[in-house]
Amino acid sequence: MEVARLNLCAPLPIVDEEPILDSMLGWLARWLRMLGIHAIYSPSFNDESLLSINHLLITRDRELFRKRSLPTLLLETSIHEEWLSISSLILGTQLVINMDRSLCPICGSKLVKVGREAVVSKVPRSVLLRHDSFWLCTGCGKVYWVGSHHMRIGKELEIARYILSRLKASCVGNNLLIIRNN
């Protein structure tokens, strides 16, 4: 089953330090940032502005895909874990969280590791008591830690890695089709 299509037939991975994600893909932008990819995203992007940006565009918008001559990846599935797997295949990204590389999922800025004393006024007391290591966003100031939510993140990534193992890329005409084998 075809799950995505790239508008050029090229070897993978596609090297782009700052892929652009259209306004429908906020979920994917957050996950790519956690994986260390500086994904550019805004909920207010409009199609006209995206037509000429010289970066890989990831979209679910078929009309935008047809209009754009620059590298564009059309996600034809509505399954979030498939979006993540396809993006990993196209960009050559490992589906593993590494806090040394992770970016802020909210704003995309760098995270720096800090001790408890740096976040004492920014996190609940119960979190301070249970954790020693924290990561502070250099852009928006949000604080992160490895908590119980990391189990959920790990499970999502495990599903995405399994899906990735089932993906195959094949050139047809001027397009690279991404097929998922069942």
Q: How confident is the model at residue 148 (pLDDT cuts 50, 70, 90)?
A: confident
Q: Has residue 182 got a pLDDT over 90?
A: no
173 and 94 both lie in a single domain: yes
pLDDT at residue 62 greater than cutoff 90: yes
The residue type at 69 = S
Q: How many domains does the chain have?
A: 2
Query: HEC states along the chain?
Result: CEEEEECCCCCCCCCCCCCEECCCCHHHHHHHHHCCCCCEECCCCCHHHHCCCCCCEEECCHHHHHHCCCCEEEECCCCHHHHHHHHHHHHCCCCCCCCCCCECCCCCCEEEEEEHHHCCCCCCHHHHHHCCEEEEECCCCCEECCCCHHHHHHHHHHHHHHHHHCEEEEEECCEEEEEECC
The average pLDDT across 134-162 equals 95
Phi first, then psi, for residue 128 (nearest 5°) are: -60, -35
Which residue range is the domain that position 131 belongs to?
Answer: 100-145
The answer to whether residues 71 and 32 belong to one domain is: yes
Confidence of residue 149 (pLDDT cuts 50, 70, 90): confident
The pLDDT value given to residue 124? 92
Strand order in the sheet with 133-137: 111-115, 133-137, 143-144
Strands of the sheet with 20-21, listed across from one edge: 40-41, 20-21, 57-59, 72-75, 2-6, 175-180, 167-172
Condensed to tens digits (0 to 9), the pLDDT of residues 67-126 reads 999 999 999 999 999 999 999 999 999 999 999 999 999 999 999 999 999 999 999 999
- Residue 24 sits in the same domain as residue 83: yes
**In this structure, are 7 and 86 located in the same domain?**
yes
Could you give the CA distance from residue 39 to residue 8 in angstroms, rounded to a whole number?
20
| Same domain assignment for residues 68 and 158 | yes
Together in a domain, 24 and 76: yes
Task: Tell me what the mean pLDDT of segment 62-70 comes to.
Answer: 96
> Do 115 and 30 share a domain, yes or no?
no
8 and 57 belong to one structural domain: yes
pLDDT of res. 144:
95
C-beta atoms surrounding 88 within 10 Å: 24
pLDDT at 4: 98
Q: In this predicted model, what pLDDT tens digit does every residue of 16-46 receive, in sequence order?
A: 999 999 999 999 999 999 999 999 999 999 9
Q: Residue 147 — very low, low, confident or very high, per pLDDT cuts 50/70/90?
A: confident
**pLDDT on residue 109:** 97
pLDDT tens track for 162-179 = 999 999 999 999 999 999
